[in-house]
Structure formats: C-alpha cells, structure tokens
Chain A
Amino acid sequence: MKGPIAAVVLLSYWLCSARAGSPIILRDVTKETGITFVHTDGSSGQRYIMETVSAGLALFDYDNDGDIDIYFLNGAPLKGTNPSGATNALYQNDGNWRFTDVTKEARVGDTGYGLGVAVGDYDNDGDLDIYLNNYGPNVLYRNNGDGTFTDVAKKAGVDLGDHVGAGTNFLDVDKDGDLDLFVASYLEFSYDKHVLTATAGFPVYANPRFYKPVPNNLYRNNGDGTFTDISKPSAIADHASWAMGTVCADYDNDGDTDILIANDVSANFIFRNDGTGKFEEVGLITGFAYDLHGDEQGSMGVDCGDYDNDGWLDFYATSYQRQLATLYKNLGDGIFEDVTLRTGAGTGTLPYVTWGNSFVDFDNDGDRDLFIACGHLQDNVELYDGTSTYFERNILLMNTGDGKFVDITEKSGDGMQIVLSSRGAGFDDLDNDGDIDVVILNSRRGPTILRNDSPPKGHWLQVRLRGVKTNRDGVGAHVKVIAGDLILLDEVHSGRGYQSHYGMRLHFGLGNRTKVDRIEVRWIGGGVDVFENVAADQLITLTEGSSKAISELAN
C-alpha cells in the first residue's frame, strides 16, 4: 500500500472504526487483579522535592513462566514521617488478570525510597535482575533463578550511596556482550539544603533550580558480577543536569547504543556513543535539547518508537504544565525536529504535568499511538491556580497513519476516564492475547491496570530475543519487521519512559497482514540475523545466530 491509496485505506479503516466507537478501548480492571499496592511518597508536609517525582514501575517476566509480572516502586518515610512499612511490591501474574503479591517470597521488598528502575540479565544467567535507582543507596536485585532475589548492589559496586535517583538503564556500551549500567541522578539534596517555598501564600514544593544539578553515572560490567565506575573516562560525568526519565537507544542507527536523558528545567541530553563506550553530549546540535522555540522544558519521561514507520526511532518527552509534551522526529541524519504542532502529538498535554509515556500500537493497525500519564506534582495546586488540579486524566492519542495524532481519550473506555496523579507507566501484553495493556503507578494511591479491549484489531507479532554471544535478552538489538508494504522498527530497551521498565518483548501491529515476510535482527556487538516467512499472531523467540523463529505462544 503506497502513497494516496494507503492514506485512503487507512482513513477508511479509521473512519469505520470511529463510527463504531473508538478503535482503542482500555478498560479499568484494577479491582479484578487483586493488586493491593498503594504508593506512598513518604510525605509529612515538609514538601521534600523527591516526593513529587516518585516513582516508576517495571513490567517483566521475573520467573520465566511466559507472562509479564509487575513490580511497583514505592516511596519510604522521609524525615518527619512515621515508619509506614511501605515497600516495593512484586506481583506475580497468575493469568486471567489475577496477580499475587510475592514480594516477601521473592525478597524484593526494598524499603528504600524508590524512584527509577531497570531490568536486565546483567550476569547473563538466563533470568532478569532488577536495578533500583533510589533516593539513598541503590539496590541491585540479582535473580537467583528460583523465584528469589538477593541484593548485591554493594558487592557489585553500584549502590551509589546517598543520592537522589532518576531513570536507570542496562545497556551494552562497549559491545562486549554483557550489560553495563547507566544511573541518572536528579539533583543534590540533603535535609539541611531543603528549601521551603510558597506560591500565592500557599506552601508548595520547590522547583529543582534551588538544588544543584549533578552528573550521572555509568558503570562497566566487569563480567564477574561487579561493575567499574567509568563515568569519567566515558565523559558521562562531564555534564551535570537535573535528570529524570532516560532511555538508551541507537538514535543514529550506527550500531551502538546511545543514552538520551529528559532533563528537568534544562536542556535534554543525548550522549552519543562512539562505539567503544565513550560519549559525547550532542543534545543541542541534534535538536533534542530544546523544543521548537529553543526553550528548555521541565522534561519528565522519554521514550522512543518509530511513529511514522520511516525506519528511524523518534522520541517523545513529557514535560511540565503549560508546556506541550514534545515529539522529536528523527530526520535520519542525526538530527531531530520538534514536530509536535505539526503532528498533534502534544494534543491535550498543555494544561497538565505529564510523565510516563510510550509509543504503543494499541489497535495493531501498524502504527504506534501515544499514551501519556498525567498528574500535577503540587498536591495543593487547586488552591492557587483554579485552572489546575492535582489529579488529572491520562491521555491517549491515536496515530491516524498519516503522521498525525488525534486525542481519543474521551471515548477510549473507562480506563481513560480515571482521574489520579499518575507517574510511571508501563506497557506490555499482560494477558498474552496479542495486544498491549497498561499499568500505571499513581502517586499516593493504588495503581491503575488497564486491559486492552479494543474492538477487532489487526494482526500482530511479538518478538523475544535470545542473545548468545551478545547479552541474553538482546537489549539494544535493532529489529526490523517487514510485512508486505509495512516496515516496522523497534529495539529492546531496558529502562525507559518515566523511570520505568517495560516492553522487552517487542510488539508489532500488522494491520491486515497475516504474515511477516522478513525479520532482521541486528544484535549489539554481534551480527545481523534474518528470519523469513513468519506467521502473524504469535510470540516468537529469535535466537542469535539462528534463522529459525521459535513459536512460543500461538493465538
């Protein structure tokens, strides 16, 4: 399908769907899940800044049983707050939208102040480990392979001591086949540096400019269960910022993984990898640092996806109230263009503070839609700004297939009408039915679990990678799916969006195509494997060095 014909077909498809109701329906199934987790930000009225930015979540298969489990980060008592017993929580997916709290059994109930999380098999032993980027010491939960975890952060040299964490990512910076670790930090905080502030006579959380920005950290995996801090030799430590969400991706398609950071109240960063694990900060020259106007934003989360199916990863960064969340289109020559106004990708975001986000093909029509989690960070904003509320509705923008987005929040099911103060959001196929569901962490409240109940959708393919020479889950691998005229691109990421982790199992919506002609996998630090003639509507595993796709889950 090409040019005008494609446009007409897509438009007809969309119009038909619209006539029948929204093409995307997300139902609130939180109550059915049995999940009882409630987030706390550890607040006591002192208004410590980290309360506003807590927290992310992780979606991953911790027990290798073929379904996606949920790990929620939690805050912890801050100075002046009574101990609450709050911990992070791991929920095992039992199927049929039931989840069991296995935090204690799995020994992952960290009581630190959770902010960011990434998941990856850093020891290449076949199971997924968890890294927690906290306020306070960080945690590396090594998966013991028997349903339990052990904190080995100190021993591994990645506990980082007393800092305020942000996004974090596993990535292979030097293409040596194991996962290194990037750890972002928000700002320099101590209780004696805490700032009390007011707006229109009401106490409010201080903005980050009151605190010093700090450099981030990069650790090289030594291959023996320990890491070496290479922040300085890699040049990562040359740049301080108020980092928040992070994502690691090969934005320039040169075969190595770069690091992109959404910075609060300052220019965003791109650390371009020279292929050996040395980085140059190129945010400004690439057009990613600032929005269209040349303004820095209060950036929050960042994720990537090829929204226009042109073979290049585009990036979406959420931001503060009265700034549009921004879509940076990758022009393919190492340059980005802010196309938010042109595409409508910021629709609905202006009045809100926006956080978790991702490009997700919710309706399997072959293009990626946008989900944006919203919620103000000032819990009393209503008192001094009658146009704003702490609790806000999340936003769903549907990709119309012609490079534009339309806001379909209103008609996309009861799950999109929930009004809370959301932070991290994760996107994965929780019920293995071939569409992507949503998990949202809400500040000071229980989470929201949204089941994708969209009307008859297109075909799909899910891809799990198995590295052999390269890292086991193919983190950083570049996957191109070709189905007739449709060419889709994705990468495996560890850590993304707003300080969260999800989507290691790649999902491709195929529209009306019943098979995939060709899949190309370019492994980080490895070669390129090609897989041909793969049927749609299944989860397949692609193993490095092989040419045969292994079917895991038939529809």
Chain B
Amino acid sequence: MPQRPQRTNKNIEFRTRNFELRNSTLGVRYSFLALWTLWTLWLFPSAGLTKDKQLAAERQTSALKKEEAELAQALIRQFPQSEDPIVLMGNVQWRQGNAAEALKFWQEALHTNPRRPDVYKAMGWFAMGKENYEEAIINWRKALQADPQIPGVHNSIARALMGLGRHAEAIEELRKDIEISPNSSSSYFLLGQGYSQQNEYEKAKASYEKTVSLEPDLTNAYYGLFTACARLNQHEKAQEYLAVFKKLKAEDMKVLKDRNDAYNDLIDMRQGAAETYMFAAKMYQGRGDTQKCEQLLKRAAELDPNNTVYLMELASLYGSSNRLSDALAMHKKISELEPNNPVCHLNIGVFSARLKQFADAEAAFTKAIALAPESSAGYRSLAQLYLETGTKLPQARDLVQKAVAMEPIAANYFVLSWACDRNADTDSALSAIKKAVELDPGNPRYRQMYELIRKRSSKQ
C-alpha cells in the first residue's frame, strides 16, 4: 500500500487550522515563536511588494476570497443534511476577517447539530480574543459536554481562568487536561504558570521540568524555570536555565525574523483556500463522487502547489480507482517536491511494480534504501519485488533478513518466510511465518501462508 510521507506541515492538521491556528490568547503558544494567531497578521504581512505587485495581489486575493466563499456556499446547497459545510463557511468567514458572519454560521451549525465540540472550541477562542473569558469558558464547557475526552479544552479553560485571576481553578483544569493528554507539554507549562502565580515555586519548578522533559526546546519553559529557581534562591540553577533560555530565544527570534521576511499574504490566502477545497473534496468523496473529488483536489494542489498533502490525496484517489499510471505520475510529482523523502520513492516503487515497470520499481526501492538505510521498509519492498518477479531470489532473502534484523515486525517476517520458501528453505519459511502470525494473529494472509507452508512441511 502507498504510504503517506512523514512530513511536518501545518496543512496536515486540516480541520484544526481554521480554528486553532489563529487563537491562543494570553500569549501562550502558547505564543512562543510567538505568534501564529490572528493578531500576528500584523507581524507577518506579505513582505517586499512593489506597489504594482501589491495591487495585483490584492485583486487576486479578492477573487480568491470570493471563489472560496462560493465553494462553501455550493457545499451548503449540495449537502443540505450536513452541518459540516456550514461550519466550513464559518471558518472561511473567520479566516477572511468577517468575525460576525463566522459566528452566525457557527451558531447555525450548532442549531443543526449541537454536538460539535470543534465549533464550541472555535467560539471559545472568538470570545477569548475579545477578552470575554466567561463566555469563552461557557463555550469550552459545552465542547466538553459534547466530548468529555477532547484534548486541550481543559487547557483552554485554564487559560481563560488565568485571565480572570482564578489560578487555583486553572490548576484543576490543567490537571484534568493532563489526565486526558499525559504528554501535554502545554498543560504542564501552564501548570507552572499557575503555581508561580500562587507563589508555589517548588511546584512550578517541577511542572516546568516536566514540560522540558516532554518538549526540550520549549523556550518559555526555561524562562519559567529561571524565574522559579530565582524565587527559590537556587541561583546557580537559575543561571543555567537562563543561559538555555537566552540561546533558545535567540534562535526563536531568528526564526521569527526569517518567517516575517518570507511571509506572503497571497500565498497564505491560497493555502487557506486550498484547505477549503480539500474539505470539499472529502465531502464529495464520501458521497462517492470521485470525479468531483478529483477536480477539487486538483484545484487545492494548484492553489498550494508546494504542499504534498493534496498530491498525496490525489495519488490515493487514483490508486483506489485503479488509475495506476496517474497514481505513479502523482507520486513522481511528489518526489520532485521532496526528493529526499524515502516514502515517496517507496510509493513510486509500489506503483511501478503494479504497472510491471520492474526496472523502475527496483531503482525506486534502491533509492529509498539509500535515503533511509536505517529503515526496514526499503529492504522489504525490494525483496518483495524480487520475489514477485522471481528474480534475484537469494538477494531477496538477504535483503529481508536485514529488514527483520532491523525491525522484527510481522510484515518483515512474512516476506522473510516467502523468501525462504522461494529459496527452498521450508523450515526457515515455517519458522518465519510462525513469528509473523504470533506478532499479528489477526492477519488472515499470514495465517493462510502459515497453513500452506505447514502442510507442505508436514508432507516432507
């Protein structure tokens, strides 16, 4: 199966961007690198435009906003039974700066389906931005009513409570968030803040220490540690933490400056619109309209051409529709954008093999191994190719043995069994497939292979 490239990309968090990327009040990134929030629109406007270019960009942005809103409107018409398009329209309006309109759509969506924690979350942040802490808390409590285990909402409530100076209650909320998300560095950090506000510096220090154990580069946590240690008269420790803080802060400022200089408003708008197109594509896909889905994904990819997420979606769509050449072409396009991503090459190998372009497949898997020699997937895939084509069988066995040594997982044992079997080593094949079944007992393919080899072995 094609695999999704592992890549940090804000657009991967598709559903959350519209809501949460522009929130975080009280300065907490928490606002570390500080500021991907609405107010940072001022900090990151598109830079370095000439007047003419700016006018052209303004026209394009205006057209894009219209296009995006029309798409959301069309979804509302096409999917009258679902509140999703209404929520989407709210998000689009929010991103375009029409806060009142956004609120109207969100409320309308809640009228249709009151169990939408994401909408309550968004409305909470909306209230928070207006320093209406009480209203924010009300919305977030409703989000919790809809989904009591939703991560991060107790954290948000804690921020609002801190804004109200109710630090003891904030600490309780943060503890609840940690119960839900035990590795939430954000909640541990805020816990440190809460304890600091109550002059409980030992507890604050412990919370900040836990924060940096979870996220060692969290600049602000070192400021908290510096402050807490200074208050505890642990001056040597305070100086140590201060030194780390200064180093990380200098790096943050550099990142901020680079981001500031590189930011382009039109590109940002296009990225936002691309997400809307992706959302729409998913809705049509859910209805089985792959043609419309493809059309929308293509537009998303056009709007945000450097974002491989949309290309991956297209590749996946083509793969599942048995449009193998299209899928292969798409994976090749992705690999042009991410030439050093081994997963891209694995996917090229997979589709090349399915199209019987074995030499290309072999080259792609070999490239994947070269890019990620520590990962077993490339060795396994290349071995599998040799086994499928009946070539280089001893080499196949060597490759997959290496894979097993690296990662003793069921998939690797399965291919090892296959390789042993093809190399006429039935005992080893039986032993390997037994291991695969042990590791993944629910996999019928492994069990089937096991039975086959066992029977053959017993006949011998």
Contact present for A201 and B58 (CB under 8 Å): yes
Q: Out of B50, B197, B219, B223, which one reaches A196, CB within 8 Å?
A: B50
A285 contacts across to B, CB distance below 8 A: 242
User: Judging by beta carbons under 8 Å apart, are A351 and B47 in contact?
Assistant: no
A81 — which chain B residues lie within 8 A by C-beta?
Answer: none
Contacts of A198 in B (CB 8 A): 45-46, 49, 54, 57-58, 61, 265-266
Q: Shortest Cβ distance from B150 into chain A, in angstroms?
A: 24
Do residues B101 and A386 form an inter-chain contact, with CB atoms below 8 A?
yes
A31 within 8 A of B: no
A295 at the interface (CB under 8 A from B): yes
Question: Would you give the shortest CB distance from A335 to chain B, in whole angstroms?
Answer: 7
Tell me the residues in window 266-295 of chain A with beta carbons closer than 8 Å to chain B beta carbons: 266, 284-285, 287, 290-295
Interface size on A, residues (CB 8 A): 50
* Interface SS of chain A: loop
Are A201 and B57 in touch, CB under 8 angstroms? yes
Complex Cα distance A310/B230, Å? 21
User: Is B37 on the interface with A (CB-CB < 8 A)?
Assistant: yes
The answer to whether A351 and B131 have CB atoms under 8 Å apart is yes
Please judge, given known A-B contacts A198-B57, A293-B193, A294-B220, whether A386 and B98 are in contact too, CB under 8 Å.
yes
Chain A residues near B257 (CB-CB < 8 A): 209
The distance from the CB of A342 to the nearest CB of chain B, in whole angstroms, is 6
Residue of A nearest to B263 (CB): A197
Which of A171-179, A315-323, A496-504 lines the interface with chain B? A315-323
A341 at the interface (CB under 8 A from B): yes
Contact with A along B99-114 (1 / 0, CB 8 A): 1111000000000000
Task: Assess whether B441 is interfacial by the CB under 8 Å rule.
Answer: no
Which residues of the other chain, A, contact B58 by a CB distance below 8 angstroms?
198, 201-203
Q: Identify which of residues 190-232 in chain A touch chain B, using a CB-to-CB cut-off of 8 Å.
A: 195-207, 209-210
Contact with A295, one of B46, B162, B167, B220 (Cβ below 8 angstroms): B220
Partner among A195, A207, A344, A349 whose Cβ is within 8 Å of the Cβ of B165: A344
Instruction: Evaluate contact between B242 and A209: CB separation under 8 angstroms.
Output: no
Residue A296 lies at the interface, judged by CB distance under 8 Å to chain B: yes
Is B25 touching A203 in the complex (CB atoms < 8 A)?
no
A-B contacts at CB below 8 angstroms, number: 156
Interface assignment of B65: CB less than 8 Å from any CB of chain A:
yes
| Cβ-based interface call for B271 (8 A) | no
Which of B47, B51, B165, B261 is within 8 Å of A341, CB to CB? B165
The answer to the question of B26 belonging to the interface, with a C-beta cut-off of 8 Å to chain A, is yes
- Indicate if B97 sits at the interface (CB-CB under 8 A): yes
Q: By the criterion of a CB under 8 Å from any partner CB, how many residues of chain B are at the interface?
A: 68
Q: Are B65 and A201 in contact (CB under 8 A)?
A: yes
Cβ–Cβ contact A295 & B39, under 8 A: no
Give the CA-CA distance A324 to B163 in the complex, in Å. 9
Please choose the segment from B3-11, B28-36, B430-438, B451-459 that sits at the chain A interface, where 4 or more of its residues have CB less than 8 A away: B28-36
Give, as a whole number of angstroms, the nearest-CB distance from B251 to chain A: 14
Q: In the complex the two chains form, what is the Cα distance from A342 to B196 in whole Å?
A: 10
Asked if A485 lies at the interface with its beta carbon under 8 angstroms from chain B, I say no
Of A9-17, A69-77, A86-94, A377-385, the segment with at least 4 beta carbons within 8 Å of chain B is: A377-385
Contacts known (A295-B32, A295-B34); A199 close to B223, Cβ less than 8 A: no
Instruction: Provide the residues of chain B in CB contact with A341, threshold 8 Å.
Output: 162-163, 165, 167, 197
**B contacts, CB < 8 Å to A:** 25-28, 30-32, 34, 37-39, 41-51, 54, 57-58, 60-62, 64-65, 95-102, 126, 129-131, 162-163, 165, 167, 193, 196-197, 219-220, 222-224, 227, 230, 242, 245-246, 249, 253, 256-257, 260-261, 265-266, 269
User: Given contacts A195-B48, A210-B47, could you give 7 more A-B pairs where the C-beta distance is less than 8 Å?
Assistant: A198-B266, A200-B65, A207-B43, A293-B30, A323-B39, A347-B131, A386-B101
